[in-house]
Structure 1
Amino acid sequence: MTSGAHDQSEISSRSLRFLLILEEVSRIGVPVTPTEISKNLGLAKQTVHRIFVTLEETGFLQRETDGKHYSAGPRMRTLSLGIMSSVRSRTARLSVMQALSDEIGETVNLVIPDRHNMTYLDRVETNWPLRIELSIGTQVPFHCTASGKLYLSSLPKSRLTPILETRKLERCTDNTLCDPDLLGRELDEIRKRGYSTDNEEFVAGMVAVATPILDANNRMVASLAFHAPTPRMSLEDAVKHLESLQTAAQKLSNILREEA
């Protein structure tokens, strides 16, 4: 093998290791240590640690507050967002969301978790003149939104407990759950029933219902939700649309799996 061919082979091998590590971090879905990734992939610890340093410096990974674990960084989240927003999948996704919005008669949202908030990725607006505007790209809190509480309920206790213990739960309305214990009990209920609600907890006069969109490993990667002003729909009436919401979420889960 010539020197040039050997160098090219070494670059290709190194690039593959970077991609395999990012893929494994994404597959696990919770903060990981380089040692865990080293064991899972059968790569040398020194190699994995060196790659983690590079991925952190370039923004693809970011270190957690404990200094040992790593999770997806801003560039990796941007990459994921771009994939989910691809023309082909977005066209199919919006078709499902439009059909649901037409059936319910309210605004339908696709919301994804970010590091500190939930982010609106897609939406189909209701035709009603009275509606609550939350545009694509809007970031909303975890603790007082239907999608945010749904995401929190999907986290393992090792990740959820530090959030409830250290994060300030800001009051947005009189109904916002600002007590960590009360919120924790609410999350237990959400985990059992498989869907979440917002009873005027984020915006006074707005109710919402959310259900998860799952990947091939049955891990929540996004939520499908709809919201409505209370003069038009009570929370009790909103929950009556749960079956339609779950059916649409299953269709979106299938679209996501086909794209994977």
Structure 2
Amino acid sequence: MNSLRYEPSVTVRRSILRDLSEKLKETVSLAIPQGTKLIYFDRLESHWPFQVNLRVGDALPLHCCASGKLYLSTMDTEAALGVFDRIAHKVSARNTIVEATRFEAELYDIRSAGYSLDNEEWFDDMVGASVPIFSDSGALVACLSTHALVTRKPIQTLRDEIPFMQKAAGELKSVLLG
């Protein structure tokens, strides 16, 4: 109970996540940088019978999920590629990017678009999207993401839903940063 006082805005944050989850009809998550990892900070589960079992506190793979790639895109390219080179051998799915030149192009595309997609790179038959939440100084505070089975939602549909995610990210910024 004592830890609750350190986060008085939890109700507002969860209501924003619930609203977004209902709009997308998918699970939505917040991940935050912590040391050398990106971890799930909060999740609001959808009501689909088949879901990927991920929990608050789980670390995300930086090279193959939408939030991890978004996180790396905020780093200097050389530093991001250094991290990638150390972990790229961890193939998660049939579309996991393992070539450094292709990953560098992916980082460029993410920076240009302002969001990241996971096109069956983390899990086969699952797609994902992530948008950043930046502090006023430009530091990455959190990544807001969603994922879906391709049988429910093709990647183009996720791309079309990015404006909903960006709006929610703007609302979450004020809640997370005060």
TM norm structure 2: 0.91
Report the counterpart of residue 249 of structure 1 in structure 2: 169
Q: CA, structure 1 residues 244+160, in 2 after alignment: closer, same or farther (shift >3 Å)?
A: same
2:62 is aligned with 1:142? yes
In the alignment, does 2:49 pair up with 1:129?
A: yes
Structure 1 CA distance, aligned partners of 2:111 and 2:89?
A: 20
Match of 1:185 among 99, 102, 105: 105
The answer to whether the 8 Å contact 1:216/1:257 transfers is no
- Unaligned 5+ segments in structure 2 are none
Q: Does 1:170 align with 2:80?
A: no
Mean CA deviation greater in 215-224 or 103-112: 215-224
CA deviation map 1:8-50 (0-9, x unaligned): xxxxxxxxxxxxxxxxxxxxxxxxxxxxxxxxxxxxxxxxxxx
Amino acid at match of 1:214: F
Residue 130 of structure 2 is aligned with which of 210, 221, 230?
Answer: 210
Match of 1:238 in 2: 158
- The more displaced of 167-176 and 122-131 is 167-176
Q: Deviations over 1:91-117 (max 9, x none)?
A: 221111000001110000001123343
Is residue 173 of structure 2 the alignment partner of residue 226 of structure 1? no
Which residue of the partner structure matches residue 10 of structure 2? 90
Q: What stretches of structure 1 of length at least 5 have no aligned partner? A: 1-81
Match of 1:154 in 2: 74
Relative contact order: is structure 1 or structure 2 higher (C-alpha 8 Å, sep ≥ 6)? 2
CA RMSD of aligned residues (A): 1.9
Among all aligned residue pairs of Structure 1 and Structure 2, give the percentage whose two residues are the same amino acid: 34
Secondary structure in 2 matching 1:88: coil
Instruction: Indicate conservation of the 8 Å contact 2:69/2:116, yes or no.
Output: yes
User: Higher helix share goes to which structure?
Assistant: 1
Q: Deviations over 1:228-254 (max 9, x none)?
A: 111111111111111000000011111
Partners of 1:236 and 1:168 in 2: how far apart?
Answer: 26
Whole-angstrom CA distance in 1 between matches of 2:81 and 2:58? 26
- 3-state SS, counterpart of residue 8 of structure 2: helix
Q: Equivalent residue for 1:58?
A: none
Are 2:64 and 2:118, in contact at CA under 8 Å, matched by a contact in 1? yes
Letter in 2 for 1:231: T
How far residue 256 of structure 1 moved from its aligned partner, in angstroms, is 2.2
Q: Which has the larger radius of gyration?
A: 1
Give the counterpart letter for 2:132 in structure 1.
P
CA distance in 1, matches of 2:95, 2:105: 15
In structure 1, the partner of 2:28 is 108
